[in-house]
Copies of this chain bind each other. A is one copy, B any other.
Amino acid sequence: MNEYKVVFLPDSSTVTVNEDENILDAAFRAGISLKSSCGGTGSCSRCGVIIKKGLARSEGVGKLTREQLSKGYVLACQTYPRSDMEIEVPESNRLSQHQVLISEELNNHMSTHTFDPLFQKIKIALSPPSLDDHTDDSSRLFSVLRKTLNIEHLRLNLETVQKLPRILREGNWRITVSLADIKGCYEIVNVEAGWNHRNYYGLALDIGTTTVVAQLVDLETGESVGIEGTYNKQAVFGDDVISRIIYAVEHKKGVEQMQRTILTTVYELITTLIKDKNINYEDIWYVTCAGNTTMIHLFLGIDPEYIRLEPYVPAFNSLIPIKALDIGLAVNPRAMVYCLPGTASYVGGDITAGAEVIGIDKQEKISLFIDVGTNGEMVLGNKDWLMACACSAGPAFEGGGIIHGMRAMDGAIENVDIEPISLDVHLKTVNNKKPIGICGSGLIDCIASLQTTAVINRTGSFLAFPTNKRIRITEGEKEFVLAWAGESGNSKDITISESDIKNLIRSKAAVFAGISTMLKTVGLALDDIEQIYVAGGFGKYINLADAIKIGMFPDLPLEKYKYVGNSSIMGAKKILLSKEARDDAEQLTGKITYLELSVGNDFYEEFISALFLPHTDLKLFPSTTEGLR
């Protein structure tokens, strides 16, 4: 088979590429992560690159424009080298750092638990053996630990027994013992001679489809040492869990490749976290991990195939802690990794984390917890009962399927205000950079404003008065100009089209239909919800009044709503620091009844009814629809 040298510019990264490896995969090997929402099938056309030198065979051009083609653009996923090449990767088509929600504003909502981390090092002194007291070394250690910690179940692994006799005597019967919780039992994962005063840490992980957040925590004090977030490098294999699963299943060693990719993502986060802090990878002794079910399967290298096939069954929802060494995570090889239990294929450990953080199972009040991302996952209930469901909201809230859609990165429009009559637009962008696209919260604002200003009607269609230059028809489709090329960061008009609006309406309808289907199933009305917790990176920037106005969230007083930020990382951290919280989370998961929206209930009907702004049944949105009636 022929091999060619391919140089990626401006990085100058060079890799050797077989004639049957596509440029998308080659770029990934070269350390360059290209956008690839569709997972390399040629349909999303986001992985465009420019051939500067050399020959290639392209199997398709997707949605590349004539202009792009004339500039030498090809789709990386459809292109195979036929000579040595130089390829330019445009900045706009690279995956880049996200604005990741890592604040912890929910602290005042968090139910409290005893500080009792899942890992601890304890310093103990043993009485030396004598002819009158010739207990073996292991039993001697056990009996002191049982007394000190008041625990019954202890376990010693072979590696530790092998060195125990020497360590005990080297330390002159003073040793430092590393204890890791493995659900109902402590394992002695290490012994050190003498009293070791080196700090030790735990890592809380939130593995999202789009973003990954890692928080490093001092396990002695419970204090956070740092928190970092980045995009999930798996994004080059597709934007959503379905395309990731398809990639993993249809490629040889696809699961392995996915696992390696998320491990690399986490490795880089850890590297950033420990930098300049005199902390080594080996100082991290326990990992708790929250994520959706697919992400956790891939993190552990478990076949996710059946998650996407009816009847949507995961390999597991709950697992005992596993050794970091067994998955190759860049922490102490003896560290344990505990993945928060999930409820079903589409309600994972991230939702458990959120439900645990708000303590939904401890409350008298009927509460609704909503985590909106590509999927809208929600938990409804109180201390007596809990129900969860997931509705496929689609990628619109994360910028997917929207012409100028993007994630909440620099230059993303996150706030839109349109003046009546003049239709002048006031924008707020992430970090106040010049606008280059629009993210989820901006889209919601935008649609609410377009409706208020009567640019669109209740179905999301443009009304027929193109008397303003911002309303125009391009390539046969109506669109509204949010920012002119002269104001934008990419010298292009930033617009929102009628089909963008319809996409977003479908997304918001899915969320609302999920809520109302659950309520119907348990025989409650919208008014019966006493508290609503909104979580997710998305939740941070959302304008709640506008989300209610477009009929995404129930029309309840704003004081019933609480932002909870990234409750997934918060829950992972909470559990890292408290065995009690871990036990709670396990119990909570056990109590949840999962409602499968695709069968035997009213979801589809509710969805159709919600495909209006705000809804076909205006009585459900009394506060917001006054102006429309």
Decide if B301 touches A134 in the complex (CB within 8 Å): no
* Complex contact A317–B138 (CB within 8 A): yes
| A interface residue count range (under 10 / 10 to 19 / 20 to 34 / 35 or more) | 35 or more
- With A139-B317, A156-B316, A156-B319 as known contacts, state yes or no: A134 contacts B594, CB within 8 Å: yes
A302: B residues at CB distance < 8 A: 158, 161-162, 165
- Judging by beta carbons under 8 Å apart, are B310 and A161 in contact? no
Whether A158 pairs with B313 at a CB distance below 8 angstroms is: no
CA distance A327 to B157 in the complex (A): 12
- Contact A598–B169 (Cβ < 8 Å): no
Question: Is the CB of A322 closer than 8 A to any CB of chain B?
Answer: yes
Asked if A306 and B134 make an inter-chain contact with CB atoms under 8 angstroms apart, the answer reads no
A138 and B345 contacting across the interface, CB-CB below 8 Å? no
Does A27 have its Cβ within 8 Å of any Cβ on chain B? Answer: no
Q: Which of A119-168 contact B (CB under 8 A)?
A: 129-140, 155-158, 161-166
Residues in B neighbouring A417, C-beta threshold 8 A: none
Distance from A179 Cβ to chain B, minimum over Cβ atoms (Å): 16
CB pair A322 B131 closer than 8 Å: no
State whether A136 and B313 are in contact (beta carbons under 8 Å apart), knowing that A303-B163, A598-B131 are contacts in the complex: yes
Instruction: Check A165 against B306 for contact (C-beta < 8 Å).
Output: yes
- Bound CA span A391–B313, Å: 62
**Given the complex of chains A and B, what is the CA–CA distance between A588 and B248 in angstroms?**
53
A547 at the interface (CB under 8 A from B): no
Q: Which chain B residues border A169 with CB–CB below 8 Å?
A: 306
Residues from chain B with a CB closer than 8 A to the CB of A326 are 158
A136 touches B311 (CB 8 A): no
Q: Across the interface, do B136 and A317 meet the contact criterion of CB distance under 8 Å?
A: yes
- Across the interface, do A132 and B303 meet the contact criterion of CB distance under 8 Å? no
* Complex CA–CA separation, A70 to B166 (angstroms): 47
Min C-beta distance of A104 to chain B, whole Å: 31
Given the complex, which residues of B lie within 8 Å of A156, measured CB to CB? 316, 319-320
* Minimum Cβ distance to chain B for residue A168 (Å): 9
B315 with A158: CB separation less than 8 A: no
Are B596 and A137 in contact (CB-based, < 8 A)?
no
Contact of A300 among B162, B315, B317 (CB under 8 A): B162
Identify which of residues 273-328 in chain A touch chain B, using a CB-to-CB cut-off of 8 Å: 300-303, 305-306, 310-320, 322, 326-327
In the complex, besides A137-B316, A157-B322, 20 extra interface pairs with C-beta distance below 8 angstroms are A129-B313, A130-B311, A134-B311, A134-B345, A134-B596, A136-B345, A138-B317, A155-B320, A156-B316, A158-B302, A158-B326, A161-B300, A161-B315, A161-B316, A162-B300, A162-B303, A164-B315, A165-B306, A165-B315, A169-B306
Q: Which 7 A-B pairs have the closest CB atoms?
A: A138-B316, A131-B599, A129-B313, A131-B311, A136-B317, A136-B314, A165-B315
In the complex, 29 of the A-B residue pairs with CB atoms within 8 angstroms, ordered by the A residue number, are A129-B313, A131-B310, A131-B311, A132-B599, A132-B600, A134-B312, A134-B313, A134-B344, A134-B594, A136-B315, A136-B344, A137-B314, A138-B316, A139-B316, A139-B317, A140-B313, A157-B322, A158-B300, A158-B322, A161-B315, A162-B301, A162-B303, A162-B315, A164-B315, A164-B316, A165-B305, A166-B303, A166-B305, A169-B306
